[in-house]
Amino acid sequence: MDTFEALVIRRDEATKAQSVAVETLSAADLMDGDVDVQVGYSTVNYKDGLAITGKAPVVRRFPMIPGIDFAGTVSASTYPDFKPGDQVILNGWGLGETHLGAYSKMARVKGDWLIRLPKGFSGKDAMALGTAGYTAMLAVLALERHGAAPARGPVVVTGASGGVGSVAVALLAGLGYTVEAVTGRVNEADYLKDLGASAVVERGELTAAPRLLAKERWAAGIDAVGGTVLANLLSMTSAEGAIAACGNAAGMELNTSVAPFILRGVSLLGINSVYAPKALRVEAWNRLARDIDRGKLARMSAKIGFDDIVAAATDIVAGKVRGRLVVEIG
């Protein structure tokens, strides 16, 4: 296409104030890459919300097209593994941060960053999961490698009403785990139980100053919140258990002690979704295609249009978004 619409963040270098608007661009405005993709769908993740609202320094260069993931169709390629017509997915790799991102009708990226859309998935399905779902699956895989299993006891998911949390609850429940969902929105209890949670824990139970060691409650968990909540989880994790940490909505600091690690053998597993190697990405997406309940996926996701992105970004940072938002780009 000769020209296309894109959502663009610009910054006044004198005042450092951001502005966001839809602009008409051409292929010459795109950055270097060996694959051109006609973007079909994207998502609104928490990081996208931070980028668009400017609440955190997610964007590292200006102007920037935000959007950290997409599903689309290859329109041109000099990369040997992809040809026009191939259906592809991209998550991370600095998209929407250092490289022009997904909220655009056209993207130019490096072929090394792309993976093929799994069989049985549409682009809409993939972005109903998006980076949040892919991150949740990376966390599940990390727990499995650590030895987590349903028979070892209940598991916990924090930020359960959000994107990562919703998918994590559905995945773990589908795999046979007893899942306890932590949320600050107790009015979402029915939603979380519909996804498979056996119990809903009010977040306030995990926001007090953590004890060195508290009563053992969970064999493992996925934390999308960080901060004091994560510190409390670690103090409450059973011997030889593990927490996979993949978010920082409650802050970057972690004020804890070595007690859970040296007295109970608890492990803290970091999840790096942005630069995970391709083989792990393919494994995660193939597992999502196999393990996610399509009915639950439909219930946790809603579709919005290109013009709704900015409002959705504001809402997700304010904690007003439940589950997943799919953006129809193309």
Question: 176-187 pLDDT, tens per residue?
Answer: 999 999 999 989
Give the residue-averaged pLDDT of 311-324. Answer: 93
Q: Is the pLDDT of residue 1 over 70?
A: no
Cα–Cα dist 192/208, whole Å: 24
> Positive or negative CA dihedral for 186, 49, 194, 136?
negative
SS3 of residue 214 by DSSP? coil
pLDDT for 250:
80
Cα–Cα dist 114/93, whole Å: 10
Cα–Cα dist 267/125, whole Å: 33
Question: Which CATH class name applies to 3-117+296-328?
Answer: alpha beta
Q: 283: burial class by Cβ within 10 Å (0-12, 13-18, 19+)?
A: middle
Q: Which residue has the higher pLDDT, 248 or 126?
A: 126
pLDDT for 237:
98
Percent of the chain with pLDDT over 70: 100
Delimit the CATH 3.90.180.10 region(s) of the chain. Answer: 3-117+296-328
SS3 of residue 6 by DSSP? strand
Give the residue-averaged pLDDT of 302-315. Answer: 96
| Total residue count of the chain as it appears in this document | 330
C-alpha pair distances (Å), 281 with each of 6, 71, 89, 125, 291: 27, 14, 10, 16, 15
Q: Is the pLDDT of residue 2 over 90?
A: no
- Kindly report the number of other CB atoms within 10 A of residue 270's CB atom: 9
Long-range contacts of 79-82 (CB under 8 A, 24+ apart): 79/34, 79/35, 79/110, 79/111, 79/112, 79/114, 80/111, 81/111, 82/35, 82/111, 82/114
Q: Is the pLDDT of residue 239 over 80?
A: yes
Phi, psi of 56 (to 5 degrees): -150, 155
Whether the link from the prior residue into 260 is cis, omega within 30° of 0, is: no
227 close to 251: Cβ distance less than 8 angstroms:
yes
- Per-residue pLDDT tens for 105-163? 999 999 999 999 999 899 999 999 999 999 999 999 999 999 999 999 999 999 999 99
- Kindly report the number of other CB atoms within 10 A of residue 3's CB atom: 12
Percent of the chain with pLDDT over 90: 95
Q: Is the pLDDT of residue 242 over 70?
A: yes
- With CA atoms as reference, report the closest residue to 23 among 98, 142, 83, 103: 103
Tell me what the pLDDT averaged over the chain comes to.
Answer: 96
Give the residue-averaged pLDDT of 170-174. Answer: 98
Cα–Cα dist 165/228, whole Å: 17
Q: Which residue has the higher pLDDT, 250 or 274?
A: 274
Cα–Cα dist 329/274, whole Å: 22
What confidence tier does 173 reach under pLDDT thresholds 50, 70, 90? very high
pLDDT for 62:
96
Question: Which CATH class name applies to 131-270?
Answer: alpha beta
Delimit the CATH 3.40.50.720 region(s) of the chain. Answer: 131-270
What confidence tier does 222 reach under pLDDT thresholds 50, 70, 90? very high
Alpha-helical runs (H) found in 209-277 = 227-236, 259-263
Q: CA triplet 262, 144, 160: central angle to 5 degrees? A: 90
> Positive or negative CA dihedral for 1, 311, 250, 147?
negative
- Per-residue pLDDT tens for 51-81? 999 998 999 999 999 999 999 999 999 999 9
Cα–Cα dist 19/29, whole Å: 18
- Per-residue pLDDT tens for 271-292? 999 999 999 999 999 999 999 9
The reported pTM is 0.94
Q: Is the pLDDT of residue 102 over 70?
A: yes
